[in-house]
Amino acid sequence: MLIKFYDLWKNDTSSLELRPPLEIVRSFFTGFPVSCDYSAISCYKILGSDSQGDIYPCSKAMNYSELRMGNINDGLVNLVGSEIHKMPLLRYKKLKKENDPWFHLSSGGCIIEAKSDMGDYMKPTIYSEDVRYNLFEKIYEDMKDEKIRNLLEEKVGLI
Ligand code: SF4
């Protein structure tokens, strides 16, 4: 289904911005996910805050009190680099397989999805591999064609 959405978006001539295909394709040009993209390496670059200023790795983490990093009044210096903030990086290192060509894009998937579906932040999500890897392969093949590569580069707004 993801590939069908990707193909629809790729061949669409309107200015529709379909995510996540757009962000995933952009990652092929940048070499790493720039936005969340359900790729856990992004969690390290994103913070979520509730209305009281309590800070979490992401707005999706707010249901998990153990992921509260502190409060904005503690100062960013005490939040960034804290144990919870570093957790996605530790998970990245734990899950990384040398022979996995797409790990830099998948990163084991969303940490909150891992917690809710697998019961453990440190596990990979179901969505992180099989389904997305088929899409990554398809984009990889498409990028070998210069015409499609140029089209994709334009569609993600890089040219
Ligand atoms: S926790 Fe999930 S939704 Fe939040 S930034 Fe990380 S990957 Fe994205």
Can you give the CATH number for the domain in which 14 is found?
3.20.20.70
Q: What is the pLDDT of residue 137?
A: 96
Give 65-107 as a DSSP string: GGG--EEGGG-HHHHTTSHHHHHHHHHHHHH--TT-TTHHHHT
Task: Record the pTM.
Answer: 0.85
- Of 116, 12, 20, 3, the closest CA to residue 61 belongs to 116
d(CA 119, CA 155): 37
Output the pLDDT for position 41: 78
Question: What is the residue whose two structure tokens read 């061949």?
Answer: 11
> What are the tokens at 1?
């289904």
Structural domains in the chain (count): 1
Q: Is 114 in the pocket of ligand 1 (CB under 6 A)?
A: no
What is the model's pLDDT at position 10?
96
Residue among 38, 63, 68, 117 whose CB has most ligand 1 atoms within 8 A, to mutate: 38
| DSSP at 37 | T
State the CB neighbour count (10 A cutoff) for residue 68.
15
What is the CA(146)–ligand 1 centre distance, in A? 33
Q: Which atom of ligand 1 is nearest to the CA of 109?
A: 7
Q: Name the band, by pLDDT with cuts 50, 70 and 90, for residue 36.
A: confident
Atom index in ligand 1 nearest the CA of residue 88 equals 6
What average pLDDT does this structure show over 57-84? Answer: 92
For the stretch 107-153, pLDDT in tens is: 899 999 999 999 999 999 988 888 889 999 999 999 999 999 999 99
Q: State which residues form the domain around 71.
A: 2-155
